[in-house]
Amino acid sequence: MDLLDKKILSSLYLSSIVPETSPYERIWSESYLPREVYDQKIQELCQKGLVDKNHEPQISFIGRDAIKVVLVGGVFDLIHPGHIHTLKAAKSHGDVLVVVIARTSTAKKIRGERKIFHDESLRQELVSSLHFVDLAIIGREGTLYDTVEHVKPDIIALGYDQAHTEKDIAQNCTRRKLNVRVVRLNTPLPVTKSSKIKDDLGDSFYNT
């Protein structure tokens, strides 16, 4: 399968998660692919069973198996080199990187004293601006696993300092009949943490 085929399958998958943006709009925003070339590729992918086409093309079960989706979750309040390292490492495990932005209420529930400078929509916009991130979404209300059920990733990548254990996540996914592999990403060098940056900034971040 060539790179363009994978990009089209990925765009179909992403539009199944966020249907407000059509698959062709996603492809065009990246590569300015002519519409006639896109339509021809869709026909070829339909013939291979990778795409189902009734009124609108949709990725088939076979097509979905042909791409690997990696999910990463976090707060991403201040984007720093550690985040870049982590997200690039996560992307290297698959074809599509979906980043889940924690809701402010969820982040504070986990760590009540956490200081958060940016609301969840702005944090989503910040992460979306990174060219190697294919999709940034705000986490669903409820637990992490409600979002995992929605995204249906092949791999969940954990940052080096995230509290979840690989075993716990794998077990909870299995209970929900989700076939997911869990990986722990390496520690970035030098170690950079949002909490340390915020401690150094103090209350002066937006009061300069």
Look up residue 6 and give its two tokens.
């994978």
Distance, in Å, from the CA atom of 93 to the CA atom of 161, rounded to the nearest integer, reads: 19
Please give the CATH architecture assigned to the domain spanning 69-198: 3-Layer(aba) Sandwich (3.40)
* Summary mean pLDDT of the chain: 88
CATH code for residues 3-65: 1.10.10
Type of residue numbered 157:
A
> DSSP strand E in the chain: where?
51-53, 57-59, 69-74, 96-101, 135-138, 155-158, 181-184
In the block, which residue shows the tokens 């075993």? 167
pLDDT of residue 39: 96
Q: Which CA distances in Å does 187 have to 61, 123, 166?
A: 35, 23, 16
Distance, in Å, from the CA atom of 124 to the CA atom of 182, rounded to the nearest integer, reads: 23
DSSP label at residue 48: T
Query: What's the pTM value of the predicted model, to 2 decimals?
Result: 0.88
Q: Is 204 helix (H, G, I), strand (E, B) or coil?
A: helix
Q: What is the mean pLDDT of residues 134-146?
A: 90
- Sequence spans of domains, the chain: 3-65, 69-198
Give the pLDDT confidence of 98-123 residue by residue, as tens digits.
999 999 887 777 666 667 888 999 99
Angle (CA) 185-144-109 rounded to 5° is 100
Type of residue numbered 10:
S
Give the pLDDT confidence of 15-70 residue by residue, as tens digits.
999 999 999 999 999 889 999 999 999 999 999 999 998 888 999 999 999 999 99
Look up residue 140 and give its two tokens.
């669903």
Please say if the pLDDT value at position 88 is more than 90.
Answer: yes
Q: How sure is the predictor about 142, in pLDDT bands with cuts at 50, 70 and 90?
A: confident
